[in-house]
Amino acid sequence: MDQGQKEMTGEGRPLDDIGSFPAGCGVYLMKDEKDAVLYVGKAKNLRARLRSYQGGGDGRPQIRFLLERIRSVDTIVTDTEKEALLLENTLIKKHRPRFNMRLRDDKTYVSLRLDPREEFPFLQVVRRVAKDGARYFGPFHSSGAVKETLKRIYRLFPLRHYPMTRCARRSRPCLYYQIGQCSAPCHGKISSDDYRLLVEGATAFLSGRIGEATALLREQMKKAASEMRFEEAAALRDQIQALETTTERQKVAGEKGLDVDVVGLHLEGGEVEIAVLFVRGGQLISRRDFSIEWRLEREELLGAFLQQYYDSGVPIPDRVLLSSSVEGIAAVEEWLSEKKGRRVRVLAPRRGEQMEMVRLAERNAAEAFRRRGSSREAREQVLAEIRNFFGLQRLPLRMECFDISNLQGGGAVGSMAVFVCGEADKAEYRHYRIRTVAGADDFASLAEVLKRRLERGLRQENLPDFILVDGGKGQLSAVTEVLATLSLEGCVEVAGIAKDRILADPRSALIARKGERFFRPGASEPLLLPEGSAALFLLEKLRNEAHRFAVTHHRKLRGRAALASSLEEIPGIGPKRRQALLRHFGSVGGIRRSSLDDLLTSGILPPAAAKAVFNFYRENRK
């Protein structure tokens, strides 16, 4: 956004100084006494919106809790509501205010990508949707769901599985060709025209146009039968029957040919459950559920949800149906249309078939809330078991586990995994590079990480209820010293978890296993939870998450370092040429992916050096 299109209206002012706030559209930032941003919002009329907060808001505890902490409000005026929406998005990402909505669910965003411009297109699993001319299908509720979909597609429409260059290096087609799930275009087993029919069938299937996909298969079946390839015709007949059965099971909804997302809300007890139904080509194909705390007005909540959800890289449909209208709906439509590249409508229907679809989404949201309520009760029972086992003062609603990864004796990395109400909150996971500790000193590294985390928690008023450290008495001692230094002994409770041990009796052939041991400050003996208990499972899961997160990040860092140092192995590439190549191509990965022509036309290397770089990475790609 052009800086001239928005205006900062002076220093922050008290919320009760309503007359000093502008009446135009824009964004407001609510701050605490330390000038930390608590909440970012947008409004068509800033003065009217801020006036609505006076008198304690709407009475909900979250609103009162927010208002008690506000010391000043900054406003930024924009020319249009769309500019306000974009600016709000930017500021939320920058400041991560604790009172803004955060989407949390237990699934990942997964889509399928197909580029029709390729001679032999194939399906790729991706987690981000880009405006690159390719087609995207989804989102799928998990990587497992997309794998099942791919299995079905490959049986019906045997597209290639891998990049052509990789397949062409093989002397014969891969195993997928042998079992009939790949048409092997890499080895000339199918013409470009026949392969295009497979692509059309897969596209129709993924778009929900099952009838069109069935017609394409029927055409192939007739062709196979006329050429007396009866086994192939019989296989196609079975595939058609499977597709027709799928069509019968699916609910037909909405206008055929359109992709529609239907958003339903269920509000109860200060919580909101959101269900999104995905209608593709008139077929209801899937759904996703989100559970969030209810802090906003219904219309404001829906607007915030749409911004976060569609800014996360999911495919954008042709229409979005809502249970109620949202503020600035025209700006939301314009933003979505710009992201999609064509017109997107956002509607709140009041009658007809579309209203029935919204009601169906609301029923799904209510059912998801009831299911989540049952699992929530079970999680609370587990947390109560943990509290009783350790003798904690309160339920460990927010548990954090810290681990230090120090592979091969160097480059220590700390990790923090976070469980909120018994569930992993991956948005809160953090990595820490060790800054002040030289060498492999796990105790000192852990102390540094804990100190940085807790100091930030004090500033942001966001401390954990319970800390679990991977280790025994030594690690526990390091943590308790940090807590004492920050005067947090009574605020944050802590325990250590040591891996189970195998005990062998030299006088017997039997081997005994001693379970996970837990250590608490002041306890001389370790504590043991019963094998198979839910509390033990949850604590082990928390510890394993912290370890996985640390090791994965450490390996990424080592891989980047190894890749960066690979340029030093190429003869004739000195420091100046390395720097020039990195500036030109952006990264070692960019150099590695470049063609010989790219290297020659860069003007950085003479022909011999360019060939040396190209050949080095070509050999390492094999």
In the three-class reduction of DSSP (H, G, I as helix; E, B as strand; rest coil), residue 99 is classed as coil
* Contact indicator for 511, 362 with CB cutoff of 8 Å: no
Same-domain pairing of 452 and 320: no
The pTM of the full predicted model, rounded to 2 decimals, is: 0.59
**Confidence bin at 104 (pLDDT 50/70/90):** low
**Confidence bin at 4 (pLDDT 50/70/90):** very low
- In 3D, which of 412, 417, 455 has the Cα closest to residue 434? 412
Same-domain pairing of 267 and 232: no
**Confidence bin at 410 (pLDDT 50/70/90):** low
Most confident of 180-194, 385-399, 406-420, 490-504: 385-399
* Contact indicator for 259, 280 with CB cutoff of 8 Å: yes
Residue 374 lies in a domain: no
Same-domain pairing of 530 and 404: yes
Average pLDDT over residues 312-340: 87
* Contact indicator for 324, 305 with CB cutoff of 8 Å: no
d(CA 430, CA 432): 7
User: Would you state the pLDDT for residue 510?
Assistant: 47
Same-domain pairing of 521 and 423: yes
**Confidence bin at 413 (pLDDT 50/70/90):** confident
Read off the CATH number of the domain in which 84 is found: 3.40.1440.10
335 pLDDT exceeds 70? yes
Of 138-152, 190-204, 303-317, 421-435, give the lowest mean pLDDT range.
Answer: 138-152
User: Would you state the pLDDT for residue 375?
Assistant: 67
Of 229, 249, 269, the position where a domain reaches its end is: 249
**Confidence bin at 100 (pLDDT 50/70/90):** confident
> Tens of pLDDT along 149-208?
788 788 878 899 888 777 777 778 888 888 888 988 888 888 888 898 888 888 887 776
- Structural domains of the chain, count: 5
Pairing of strands 123-126, 135-140: unpaired
Same-domain pairing of 406 and 549: yes
Same-domain pairing of 460 and 584: no
Average pLDDT over residues 33-43: 88
Residue 379 lies in a domain: no
Q: Which helix (H) or strand (E) holds 231?
A: helix 230-249
596: containing domain: 570-621
User: Would you state the pLDDT for residue 343?
Assistant: 92
Residue 105 lies in a domain: no
Same-domain pairing of 230 and 125: yes
d(CA 559, CA 552): 11
Same-domain pairing of 214 and 267: no
Of 196, 214, 249, the position where a domain reaches its end is: 249
Residue 388 lies in a domain: no
Average pLDDT over residues 107-112: 68
Residue 103 lies in a domain: no
User: Would you state the pLDDT for residue 619?
Assistant: 61
Share of the chain above pLDDT 70, in %: 82
User: Would you state the pLDDT for residue 262?
Assistant: 93
Average pLDDT over residues 27-37: 89
Same-domain pairing of 33 and 90: yes
Q: 37: which strand partners?
A: 31
247: which residues sit within 8 A by CB, 6+ positions away? 210, 211, 214, 283
Residue 392 lies in a domain: no
250 pLDDT exceeds 50? no
